[in-house]
Structure 1
Amino acid sequence: MKAEQLTCDYLVVGSGAVGMAFADVLLNETKANIIIVDKYAKPGGHWNLAYPFVTLHQPSAFYGVCSRELNRGVIDKTGMNKGLMSLASGAEVSAYFDAVMQETFLPSGRVQYFPLCNYEGDGKFTSITGGKTFEVSVNKKVVDATYLNTSIPLTHKPSFTRDDKVDFTPVNTLTQHVKKQENYVVLGGGKTGIDTCLWLLNNFVEPENIHWVVSRDAWLLNRKNTQPLDEFFFDSIGAQANQMEAIAQSSSIDNMFDKLEEKGVMLRIDESVRPSMFHGATVSEAELAALKRLPNIIRHGRVKHVGEHALEFDSAKWVMPKNTLVIDCSASAITNLDIKPVFNGNTITPQTVRAYQPVFSAALIAHVEAAYDDEATKQKLTQVVPLPNRDIDWVPMTAAMLRNMHIWSEAPELREWIRNCRLDGFSKIVHGVEKDDMAKLQVLGRLKGASQPAMAKLMEFMHMLRASEQIAS
């Protein structure tokens, strides 16, 4: 079958949140023609296969694409997120991205969308359903919006084996497998495991009937500190000032985390267990209190085998109670931690240029592509902030984020773009501070005053980490 020939300025591979945020800025800031190719039937990437009770972990107000609001500034009035800005459900996020495609992108006449297609490289892709092939002549650049690959329990390959007779389900199909089991074993200590434990508690499962397998405890972020509204200024911007002061005043990495915890920046579920993981998950104070009620947290490392009657670890075996449903929440949110240049010739590979915010990062990268001509300048403005895994990864992540923020502050046009970008979150409430509001100005003064000493301390810690890694190798 002869391939159909297509032409565009930008070929965007992937219509997940990153691809959509990138394409949205290109559409609004250039006259480019765009082709978007994706393996799923609808835009939204992994949200197409999300578990039914998933929500965003951070406010909907700064998620999605720049040009269309996902949240109307709604404050939750019930539930464990009560008093904080609402968190869109998976269904809401999926519907949102579909609406962006159907109501904004396609009607523009400058976007062509090819769902249910496998991209094969070199501008070639093939329809999954009909086998039709396409070859694209790209005038400007290919955008690989699939590089930050998200793994989900429904499709990932578990790192453990299991017996066929085990009552087992990925979290994505949990609601279909609940059949009055007496006990539930949750495998995975990350965001998905947290969500699953909270869902079970909210659905009247007693805490003692939830058995949570946590291979590594994690440092968590207080969601109250992520609220992009002026009424939360002293929480959100205050937490940033507290963070800089905690770093600047610390004598070691462990001492830094102790101070971050003392100042309410970092949280943990069990004060007697030292976390060794950080993935940027957020919890409300009510959610943290609920998780602290769980008496059965199993800490033997990673599960090697799920048997009919017991879980097997490297050096331990844990006997499961009778009538137990095992729930797999062990997939890693991001599977690709390697860093590539964002701008490399005729290829753009969106990655995080600000911690915790992949969609803002994608939008900023698209703006840099649209607004700047020199590749060296583009590379300077979009240096990658490494994704964290271990607790100590918080150090280079934070240092890279501060470096980028300093670079952006010295580029007036980009600084103004960030201030007006819906996905930024906090610039507007900072710039909205009145000149006579001494309480808020004091917070901003603390933040500014501690930033440079904090950066110096982070560089010192990074030198120590590199030295210890060289010795270990």
Structure 2
Amino acid sequence: MTEILETDYLIVGAGAMGMAFVDTLLSETDARILIVDGHAKPGGHWNDAYPFVTLHQPASFYGVASRELSTGEKDQAGLNKGLCDLSSGADINSYFDHVMRHTFLPSGRVQYFPMSHYTGDFNSAHTFHSLTSGKQYEVKVAKKIVNATFLKNSVPSTHTPNFAVEDGVNFMPLNDLPKIDTAPDGYVVIGGGKTGIDACLWLLETGVDPDSICWIKSRDAWLLDRSNTQPTPEFFETTIGTQAGQMEAISGAESLEDMFDRLEACGYFVRLDKSVKPTMFHGATISPLELEALRRIKNIVRMGRVQKVGATEIILDEGTIPTTPGTVHVDCSATAVTNKETTPVFNRNVITPQFVRSYQPLFSASLIAHTEAIYGDDDETKKNQICGVVPLPDSLEDFARFTFAAMMNQYTWSQEPGLDVWLQNNRLDGFSKMIAGISPDDEKRMAVLKRIRKAAVPAVTKLGEFLSEIEKKAAA
């Protein structure tokens, strides 16, 4: 028999963005909220993450707006030494469970159904069933349904490689690296993105000789220096100063290639190998010490994508390399977000959380919830203007697209009455409070802000020109 439930907002997905959305909606409205999720605990893909995973960005940028995740400490040891703390996967899972049990459920306005699968159509039929009991539910939604599963995460433990692996090959996701109990002949890390970086760093930190690591990278990536993402006042010159440098680099660029050269020269971008021009950008951050450690690995294979991993050789797009039956092959080829398409955040009765600011998914979800709380059903066009989608980057051209979209959103927010106060008071924003706290008498820091204001419009204009050129080439 199907049980009938009622709610104002139905949230499909209790991952990080879904949790951040609910937190702000709960604190800014009196709405009833029902959450359906397939995992046993909130946190989405963090439930499936590898055991040594950490955030790549400071913990203060992550979590829900109402509860701090960061310890407020700087790391005193390791490859993130001197920078703000990076929460571990275990920290994050515990944090989201605590938010659910101590903030959401005690409110009396949140119903939570873990281990449940939504079978509705995101339109008029809203049904789900329990994965453990099989019980069927129908939900009557008074206001909106929130599709917090739209950005589909792919993690190594649940990822199916898009290349062949012969039987008997010692092949594993990086989740299984801590289970190794006998030193192998060596390690082959397949994947040049965030998980590939994490696998290599973990191996190095556990004492593996860098010459025992072969790193297969189909593409090199531009990386962000984590030193420039620190949200505390003592890092103002590097953090906000690099933002000024970014604006100036873009505004002065004569071509897309020149823009990347300038962004590297001002310290906004770093790369692993100065002799290799990156062709990819996914927004991963790295500390100077991590970059130094990775550069110890000399056996880096750049022969395209892997086609097949055999017992004695690995076949790639542009040739083969030898391997052995005693070598551990580590799969880091999963893409963090598998779908790159976008859709309007607000579309009638459906809200689809996506990035509205570059690099900050949970701030984005919080701002989307705030926009819904303030405007409700009044003006969908205005809500989508405030919450313009920032498309996730992959190629170098994508960097121009997502930077342009983020800068246009920032301008829109500056014109919206009262939003500046909300930004300063939202802990996930990161930099608004830092900037607002600068004394007008602080000439050095005020000069940095003047650089940003001076270069902002020329930078947006230049990005628009680059995007026009990109579109013309694509249409030719």
Q: TM class, shorter-chain normalised?
A: over 0.9
Greater Cα offset, 110-119 or 374-383: 374-383
Q: CA deviation at 1:441?
A: 0.3
* 2:333 aligned counterpart, secondary structure: coil
Name segments (4+ residues, structure 1) moved above 2 Å: none
Deviations 1:309-333 (A, max 9, x none): 1110123111115621000010000
* 2:189 aligned counterpart, secondary structure: strand
Match of 1:245 in 2: 248
Number of residue pairs matched?
470
Whether 1:90 aligns to 2:95 is no
Match of 1:38 in 2: 37
Q: 1:227 aligns with which of 213, 227, 230?
A: 230
Whether 1:429 aligns to 2:434 is yes
Match of 1:107 in 2: 106
Do 2:170 and 2:325's aligned partners in 1 also have CA atoms closer than 8 Å?
no
Q: CA deviation at 1:164?
A: 1.1
Q: 2:359 aligns with which of 356, 360, 370?
A: 356
Do 1:161 and 1:305's aligned partners in 2 also have CA atoms closer than 8 Å?
yes
* 1:164 aligned counterpart, secondary structure: coil
Do 1:198 and 1:291's aligned partners in 2 also have CA atoms closer than 8 Å?
yes
Q: 1:344 aligns with which of 344, 347, 361?
A: 347
Equivalent AA in structure 2 for residue 402 of structure 1: M
Match of 1:460 in 2: 465
- Superposition pairs of residues 290-309 of structure 1, within 5 angstroms: 290-309=293-312
Q: CA deviation at 1:449?
A: 0.3
Equivalent AA in structure 2 for residue 31 of structure 1: D
Whether 1:210 aligns to 2:213 is yes
Deviations 1:182-237 (A, max 9, x none): 30000110000001100000000001001001000000000011100001000110
Unaligned runs of at least 5 residues, structure 2:
none
- Superposition pairs of residues 317-328 of structure 1, within 5 angstroms: 317-321=320-324, 323-328=326-331
Match of 1:24 in 2: 23
Aligned CA distance change for structure 1 residues 178 and 268 (closer, same or farther; 3 Å): farther
Do 1:170 and 1:327's aligned partners in 2 also have CA atoms closer than 8 Å?
yes
Equivalent AA in structure 1 for residue 195 of structure 2: T
Do 1:183 and 1:322's aligned partners in 2 also have CA atoms closer than 8 Å?
no
Do 1:24 and 1:66's aligned partners in 2 also have CA atoms closer than 8 Å?
yes
Whether 1:314 aligns to 2:317 is yes
Deviations 1:108-145 (A, max 9, x none): 10000000001111210010011001000000000000
- Work out the CA distance in 1 between the residues paired with 2:254 and 2:323: 43
Equivalent AA in structure 1 for residue 430 of structure 2: G
Do 2:311 and 2:325's aligned partners in 1 also have CA atoms closer than 8 Å?
no
- Superposition pairs of residues 149-160 of structure 1, within 5 angstroms: 149-160=152-163
Do 2:223 and 2:285's aligned partners in 1 also have CA atoms closer than 8 Å?
yes
Equivalent AA in structure 2 for residue 56 of structure 1: L
- Superposition pairs of residues 281-296 of structure 1, within 5 angstroms: 281-296=284-299
Q: CA deviation at 1:179?
A: 2.2
- Work out the CA distance in 2 between the residues paired with 1:414 and 1:28: 16
TM-score, length basis structure 2: 0.98
* 2:74 aligned counterpart, secondary structure: coil
Do 1:58 and 1:87's aligned partners in 2 also have CA atoms closer than 8 Å?
yes
Q: CA deviation at 1:412?
A: 2.0
Do 1:218 and 1:391's aligned partners in 2 also have CA atoms closer than 8 Å?
no
Whether 1:414 aligns to 2:419 is yes
- Work out the CA distance in 1 between the residues paired with 2:318 and 2:196: 23
Equivalent AA in structure 1 for residue 246 of structure 2: Q
Do 1:169 and 1:177's aligned partners in 2 also have CA atoms closer than 8 Å?
no
- Work out the CA distance in 1 between the residues paired with 2:352 and 2:130: 23
Q: CA deviation at 1:392?
A: 1.9
- Work out the CA distance in 2 between the residues paired with 1:395 and 1:371: 31
* 1:154 aligned counterpart, secondary structure: helix
Q: CA deviation at 1:26?
A: 0.7
Aligned CA distance change for structure 1 residues 178 and 214 (closer, same or farther; 3 Å): farther
Greater Cα offset, 189-198 or 373-382: 373-382
Match of 1:335 in 2: 338
- Work out the CA distance in 2 between the residues paired with 1:166 and 1:14: 36
Match of 1:75 in 2: 74
- Superposition pairs of residues 136-147 of structure 1, within 5 angstroms: 136-147=139-150
- Work out the CA distance in 1 between the residues paired with 2:449 and 2:117: 49
TM-score, length basis structure 1: 0.98
Q: CA deviation at 1:156?
A: 1.6
- Work out the CA distance in 1 between the residues paired with 2:48 and 2:285: 22
- Work out the CA distance in 2 between the residues paired with 1:292 and 1:261: 17
Match of 2:262 in 1: 259
- Superposition pairs of residues 377-456 of structure 1, within 5 angstroms: 377-456=382-461
Q: CA deviation at 1:389?
A: 0.6
Unaligned runs of at least 5 residues, structure 1:
none
- Superposition pairs of residues 4-23 of structure 1, within 5 angstroms: 4-23=3-22
Do 2:190 and 2:333's aligned partners in 1 also have CA atoms closer than 8 Å?
yes
- Work out the CA distance in 1 between the residues paired with 2:309 and 2:357: 38
Q: CA RMSD in A?
A: 0.8
Aligned CA distance change for structure 1 residues 104 and 215 (closer, same or farther; 3 Å): same
